[in-house]
Chains A and B, each alone.
Chain A
């Protein structure tokens, strides 16, 4: 199949349907509305169901029910809506159910704004929900990568029985780029023999649950989840790396910001400065191993984010004190200017910082 030009939010919907997603529950919020609108048009054509819920709280709990019932199911929202979904995400993680959650991030806190932002890094990777849980977070930088990851997200969710979040921003959601829908690598997916689809009198009842009133049972359950998290770290961590062996400065950025950073790096290279890049594709698991590849002579690691500095915490953990870590960020819907990034890189390379 060839490439077709699509808008980000619609491409996400198309990728989900290609991946076998049949159910979508959501609530309107800018800048992701084209996605539920697309699903409301397209899902009925494949025998699926789109339902506009009364709130994000209800939407994620509908996802919880549908996921428990064995379906491939998705929801999408933007920052304040994702905040409301945290209750359900915690239950879904606790009950070990697969689902895909799209967050087209906007600036915050509060109602914030509607322009592109990356200020939900903490929310996505630390979880606003209660308890010892994690979920996978993909942060694509192009529409092609977005559709690839959305399609893969359903497989990863099913494989590990875990929620998977795909995080973008208004830029990813609104821009148009050519995309091609390619089958993700084949995985051996376990049967959903735990689903609540009716016993038909042929088996014992299935129970979807996250309650373990006995502390020993809960501890065992949580360690079981943690073992799964470790497995995901080993198998599913993804990142793009560039020139880590001889870079003077290494820049870390994801999603939209990484596109701006790539322009800044090209500019620096024209001027003979060697700059490396680590672009986390999974925000959780965070690609710590990439940082071990940074050459020991590098003068510093520059984290660029559309926030006041959230991913920088993970960067510092991953750098393990081996290099100084610097930050450059714009927030509230402002996008970093490549010239500012070049200036920061030069300062670090020139020993000014």
Chain B
């Protein structure tokens, strides 16, 4: 008799992803889908899809979905959550979306302690528009709008979103994870689950920053990308938990 060892989560629809080969957006989608399914909240989940490579997230998550303008997902999520306080509301945002154009919205969602969960995909670049510099682009990292590599004197140092948000009281759960190998993927899933549990417990705002790859715009193979993430991103963006409320510890 054969046993099923892997099953597509009910948290995702059957629609095939449009992501580039080796892009870790797909893994992160799966983790969120699995967590929603395991927590039994798909029927009351409402996701907010951003502008960015994950713009079609509304076709992938198997729950009610709402598109947002670039950077505005936390505001849209606020509107939804205030209307349906018993629902489970999440945003899924890239680093251009959240850390550049949408800084006001994310900071103030955290500041209000908005009871939503944000999945923040940090791939250190603008993926969808073709590899421009993001606030998270590393020093020396090449981007189409930083052809010689990011220069600190010209554009400053990469923004550490988790560190920044963890100074805000309303942000009850803040953790940075990575999906570059199996062990870290397991940890990432745990963190995502906790972030949703914080919402379910009515504690406040929760965010999981997920370090992610963009082989296409980094100009690397998927394997090289995973290695680059580990060797370059993690030293600058240390993994770990910044805030957890007692209740879910």
> Chain A interface (Cβ within 8 Å of chain B)?
22-23, 25, 49, 51, 53-55, 57-59, 61-71, 73, 87-88, 91, 95, 196-202, 205-211
Contacts and interface: CB of A to CB of B under 8 A. Distances in A.
A199 B63 contact: yes
Contact of A198 (B46, B67, B68): B46
Given A201-B42, A208-B65, A64 B79 contact: yes
22 contacts: A23-B82, A25-B79, A51-B82, A53-B75, A54-B111, A57-B104, A64-B68, A65-B66, A65-B68, A65-B83, A66-B79, A68-B66, A68-B76, A69-B83, A70-B83, A88-B72, A198-B63, A200-B44, A205-B64, A207-B59, A207-B67, A211-B67
A88 B69 contact: yes
B117 interface: no
> Which one of B55, B59, B78, B87 has the highest number of Cβ atoms from chain A below 10 Å of its Cβ?
B78
B43 interface: yes
Interface in B82-104: 82-84, 87, 104
Given A65-B75, A88-B72, A211-B55, A205 B62 contact: yes
B84 A69 contact: yes
Contacts of A73: 79, 83
Contacts of B125: none
B226 interface: no
Contacts of A209: 58, 65-67
Given A198-B44, A207-B58, A65 B104 contact: no
Contacts of A69: 46, 66, 79-80, 83-84
Nearest to B18: A213
Given A64-B76, A65-B75, A65-B79, 20 more contacts: A54-B104, A54-B111, A57-B104, A61-B76, A62-B76, A64-B66, A64-B79, A65-B78, A65-B81, A66-B79, A66-B80, A69-B80, A91-B67, A91-B69, A197-B83, A199-B42, A199-B64, A205-B13, A205-B62, A208-B65
Contacts of B81: 65
B45 interface: yes
B101 to A, nearest CB: 10
B205 to A, nearest CB: 14
B143 interface: no
Given A197-B64, A211-B55, A66 B83 contact: yes
A65 B114 CA distance: 14
B75 A95 contact: no
A69 B61 CA distance: 17
B67 to A, nearest CB: 4
Contacts of B69: 61, 64, 87-88, 91
A95 B62 CA distance: 20
A65 B76 contact: yes
A62 B109 CA distance: 11
A273 B64 CA distance: 63
B32 interface: no
Nearest to B70: A87
B60 to A, nearest CB: 10
A198 B76 contact: no
A208 B48 CA distance: 9
B105 interface: yes
Nearest to B61: A205
Nearest to A49: B82
A57 B80 CA distance: 16
Interface string B99-135: 0000011011001100000000000000000000000
Contacts of A53: 75, 108
Contacts of A59: 75
B11 to A, nearest CB: 11
Given A61-B69, A208-B65, A71 B76 contact: no
Nearest to B85: A49
B64 A207 contact: yes
A199 to B, nearest CB: 5
Nearest to B104: A54
